[in-house]
């Protein structure tokens, strides 16, 4: 492992130990082999004057909610050092009381809550303290004889601490073990199955001690193991199975989730191991991960019964795990898995948000590497079930879960929108993103690529009149997000303003291809996945011309009328699958690509009106925007239309002919 320390960068913080602390903390946090997503903690001990002008010793320790990879000085909580050291001498102290006392000992009431390891940092008699969950070190300790291997690698230079529950119990254990030791004899401290501490009065030395310790562990692993990666080509993914599994997990979790599939060579190698069922289910890399990943993954084995529901078996096993370990005071969490090993296919991470799924995917990738290394060092051995349960149901972690905010309406849901680069389609993309959805935005215009610049949007260039493009768009959507819940069939074209007797054959055919046939083909490819969606909904964008056509628009009106009839039949056919199908009839939505100046002038002239009169030609005398239509799309895809299918709703400001 290479040191990232830069003397020139550090020089900027030479006169500010807290800023220097933040700098070296970021160096640790930027290496995922040391810490992942909020893991680890660091501190610095400083002297400061209080309100009375008296010198006071403070511990600035990483605050809850901050990530080491991006932490700033404001992310450290200042706590009175003498209070923390006194706390270490208590015989007993609940973690809730520990957190309360730490908070009361802070000198800045607006700072974040101190790390639960603050007391441990306080009793280590050095200015700078670094703590990581270094993969290499934890992997070695997660093997039979792990402590002996640590001694073989480091001799007596590290203080070895048997596994103890994080928080006060860990601090008390270290306090008792270190009463009569000379801390200067040690380069660091290894917490069995948990992580590594280093310390020094110099920030760089403390940081580089961590790098040295981990480098030596990596060298030991390299000398004693060989991690072979299967270079065989990836099997074709059964996307229906992916969507079905996602639906089953969402049902178990009680809300929509994304399913992020990893088919990399590393994931495929692990998923193809003959022993994967056993070794994957022995526990996490470090107990800190369990709050995100649960104790074990789901195992998906298509070779047994592709139509089975492995999630049911998982949730039943989780309930048994809870019943075996609960003290009667805890309430069982949701029993849904957070990640899965899909045998011979790869890994899947499940998250109610894309960021959660990405975090779980990162953790699972690190975990499978550690498992395979440990297997070559005598066998993967995680903590006993009881210890893992205590962390998963730790009262402090439960408090974090209880404080979670309400999710946006469509968080965890996946939408596909056609005609997404402009007008109604673009407004729908923006509205659904704002409500938490992940969206596949399909448009024939290449400008759609790079239009949204968001992890929540999959931008796809494709022609809806081409069968292959439609199938590809649906498949890409399911592969990226795990399924499909909302289909907004919007793409269309307003055919030339031609009377029937003067109509070109191409005008009629273009109207049918774009405004009818393409929608039917999109439904054909989307329905197999919508069947395994979460509260699935199809919204068809038709037109006011269906109930109230006008002269000169036969190609457009006839195709849209056929589309409306298609939607009605789809509602009848798909009701048994709980897929809702509803239709919107917009009118006079002038901020769309359909309404060119030429078409707008022609339509106005056909009614004997000026353009401005034509725009205001509705009962409410109001202009209808794409966003108004998008709001109705959200309503139809959401709770307001949860019990409605087969409906046709105008969004037109009130049209006398329709009314």
Rounded to an integer, what distance in angstroms lies between the CA atom of residue 585 and that of residue 563? 11
Give CA–CA dist 515/541, Å, rounded: 10
pLDDT at 465: 97
3-class secondary-structure state, position 589? strand
Position 23 confidence tier, pLDDT thresholds 50, 70, 90? very high
The single residue listed with the structure tokens 């807290």 is 18
| Domains along the chain with CATH numbers | 7-224 (3.40.225.10), 239-402 (3.40.225), 414-594+623-650 (3.40.50.720)
Cα–Cα dist 281/503, whole Å? 67
Please provide the average confidence, as pLDDT, over all residues in the chain.
94
Which residues have a catalytic role annotated? 556
Give CA–CA dist 395/93, Å, rounded.
Answer: 13
DSSP β-bridge partners for residue 62: 76
More confident residue, 396 or 102: 102
Residue 359 tokens, joined: 């975090």
What pLDDT shows up at residue 503? Answer: 93
Q: What is the pLDDT of residue 588?
A: 85
Considering the entire predicted model, what is its pTM?
A: 0.92
Residue range 72-79: average pLDDT? 96
Cα–Cα nearest to 153, from 137, 164, 131: 137
Question: Looking at residue 52, what is its pLDDT?
Answer: 84
With a pLDDT cut of 90, the percent of the chain lying above it is 84
Neighbours of 184 (CB within 10 A): 9
Q: Kindly report the number of other CB atoms within 10 A of residue 535's CB atom.
A: 17
- Tell me the three state secondary structure of residue 165: coil
The band of 549, judged by pLDDT with boundaries at 50, 70 and 90, is very high
Would you give the end-to-end CA distance of the chain in angstroms? 73
Does residue 336 or residue 36 have the better pLDDT?
A: 336
Rounded Cα–Cα distance for residues 109 and 103 (Å)? 8
**Quick one: residue 44, left, alpha or beta (phi over 0 = left, psi -120 to 50 = alpha)?**
beta
Residue 249 has pLDDT above 90, yes or no: yes
pLDDT digits (tens, 9 = 90+) for 278-320: 999 999 999 999 999 999 999 999 766 666 789 999 999 999 9
pLDDT at 216 exceeding the cut of 80 = yes
Does the structure show a pLDDT above 90 at 594?
Answer: no
Binning pLDDT at 50, 70 and 90, where does residue 404 land?
low
Q: What is the pLDDT of residue 38?
A: 81
| 34-38, 429-433, 639-643: segment of lowest average pLDDT | 34-38
Of the candidates 352, 536, 336, 524, the one whose C-alpha atom is nearest the C-alpha of residue 438 is: 352
pLDDT score, position 628: 97
Q: What is the DSSP string of 235-289?
A: PPP-HHHHHHHHHHHHHHHTS--EEEEE-SHHHHHHHT-TTHHHHTTS--SSGGG
Mean pLDDT of 382-394: 94
pLDDT at position 611: 85
Band the pLDDT of 613: cuts 50, 70, 90: confident
More confident residue, 404 or 93: 93
The rounded percent of the chain whose pLDDT value lies above 70 is 97
Residue 381 near residue 144, CB atoms below 8 Å: yes
pLDDT of residue 565: 98
Which of the two residues, 338 and 591, has the higher pLDDT score? 338
The pLDDT of 164-170, averaged and rounded, is 93
d(CA 212, CA 3): 9
**Residue 202 clears pLDDT 80, i.e. is over it:** yes
pLDDT of residue 400: 61
pLDDT surpassing 90 at residue 494: no
Residue-wise pLDDT for 99-121, tens only, equals 999 999 999 999 999 999 999 99
Residues in contact with 331: Cβ distance below 8 Å, sequence separation at least 6, in sequence order: none
pLDDT digits (tens, 9 = 90+) for 115-143: 999 999 999 999 999 999 999 999 999 99
pLDDT tier at 65, thresholds 50, 70, 90: confident
- The model's pLDDT over 32-53, given as tens digits with 9 standing for 90+, comes to 999 988 889 999 999 988 878 8
For 45, phi then psi, to 5°, come to -100, 130
- pLDDT score, position 306: 63
pLDDT of residue 286: 93
Query: How would DSSP label each residue in 460-475?
Result: EE--TTSHHHHHHHHH
CA distance 174 to 248: 44
Residue 20 is predicted with a pLDDT of 97
Kindly give, in sequence order, each residue whose CB lies less than 8 Å from that of residue 633, ignoring residues fewer than 6 positions away. 428, 431, 432, 488, 539, 541, 584
């Amino acid at each position: 492992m290479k040191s990232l320390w830069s003397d020139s960068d550090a020089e900027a913080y030479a006169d500010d130990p807290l800023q220097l602390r933040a700098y070296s903390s970021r160096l640790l946090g930027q290496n995922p082999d040391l810490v992942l997503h909020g893991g680890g903690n660091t501190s610095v001990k400083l002297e400061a004057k209080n309100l009375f002008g008296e010198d006071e010793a403070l511990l600035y320790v990483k605050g809850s909610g901050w990530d080491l990879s991006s932490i700033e000085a404001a992310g450290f909580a200042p706590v009175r050092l003498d209070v923390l050291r006194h706390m270490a001498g208590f015989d007993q102290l609940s973690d809730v009381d520990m957190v309360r006392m730490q908070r009361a000992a802070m000198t800045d009431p607006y700072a974040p809550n101190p790390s639960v390891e603050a007391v441990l940092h306080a009793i280590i008699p050095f200015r700078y303290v670094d703590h990581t969950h270094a993969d290499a070190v934890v992997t070695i300790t997660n093997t039979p004889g792990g402590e002996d291997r640590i001694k073989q690698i480091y001799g007596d230079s590290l203080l070895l601490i048997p596994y103890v529950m994080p928080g006060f119990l860990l601090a008390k254990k270290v306090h008792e073990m270190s009463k009569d030791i000379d801390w200067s004899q040690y380069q660091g401290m290894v917490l069995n199955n948990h992580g590594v501490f280093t310390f020094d009065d110099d920030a760089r030395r403390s940081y580089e001690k961590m790098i040295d310790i981990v480098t030596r562990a990596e060298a030991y692993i390299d000398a004693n193991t060989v991690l072979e990666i299967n270079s065989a080509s990836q099997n074709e993914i059964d996307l229906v199975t992916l969507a079905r599994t996602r639906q089953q997990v969402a049902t178990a979790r009680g809300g929509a989730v994304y399913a992020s599939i990893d088919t990399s060579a590393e994931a495929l190698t692990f998923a193809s191991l003959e022993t994967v069922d056993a070794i994957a289910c022995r526990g996490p890399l470090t107990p800190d991960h369990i709050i995100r990943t649960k104790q074990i993954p789901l195992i998906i084995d298509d070779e047994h019964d592709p139509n089975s529901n492995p999630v049911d078996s998982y949730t039943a096993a989780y309930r048994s795990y809870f019943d075996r370990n609960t003290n009667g005071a805890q309430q069982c969490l949701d029993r849904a898995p957070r990640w899965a090993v899909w045998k011979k296919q790869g890994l899947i991470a499940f998250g109610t948000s894309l960021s959660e799924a990405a975090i779980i995917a990162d953790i699972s990738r690190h975990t499978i590497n550690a498992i395979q290394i440990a297997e070559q060092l005598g066998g993967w051995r995680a903590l006993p079930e009881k210890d893992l349960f205590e962390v998963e149901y730790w009262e402090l972690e439960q408090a974090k879960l209880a404080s979670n905010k309400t999710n946006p309406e469509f968080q965890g849901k996946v939408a596909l929108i056609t005609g997404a680069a402009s007008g109604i389609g673009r407004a729908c993309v923006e509205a659904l993103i704002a409500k938490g959805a992940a969206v596949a935005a399909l448009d024939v215009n290449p400008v759609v690529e790079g239009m949204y610049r968001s992890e929540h949007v999959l931008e796809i260039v494709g022609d809806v009149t081409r069968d292959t493009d439609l199938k590809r768009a649906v498949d890409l959507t399911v592969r990226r997000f795990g399924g499909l819940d909302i289909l907004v069939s919007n793409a269309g074209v307003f055919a030339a303003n031609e009377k029937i007797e003067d109509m070109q054959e191409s005008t009629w055919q273009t109207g049918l291809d774009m405004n009818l046939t393409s929608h039917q083909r999109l439904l054909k490819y989307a329905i197999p996945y919508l069947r395994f969606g979460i509260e699935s909904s199809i919204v068809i964008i038709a037109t006011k011309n269906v109930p109230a056509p006008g002269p000169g628009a036969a190609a457009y009106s006839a195709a849209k009328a056929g589309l409306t009839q298609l939607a009605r039949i789809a509602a009848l056919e798909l009701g048994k699958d709980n897929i809702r199908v509803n239709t919107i009839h917009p009118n006079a939505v002038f901020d769309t690509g359909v309404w060119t100046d030429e078409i707008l002038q022609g339509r106005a002239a056909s009614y004997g009106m000026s353009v401005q009169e034509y725009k205001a030609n509705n009962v409410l005398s109001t202009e209808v925007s794409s966003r108004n239509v998008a709001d109705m799309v959200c309503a139809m895809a959401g709770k307001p239309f949860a019990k409605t299918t087969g409906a046709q709703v105008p969004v037109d400001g009130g049209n006398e002919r329709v009314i």
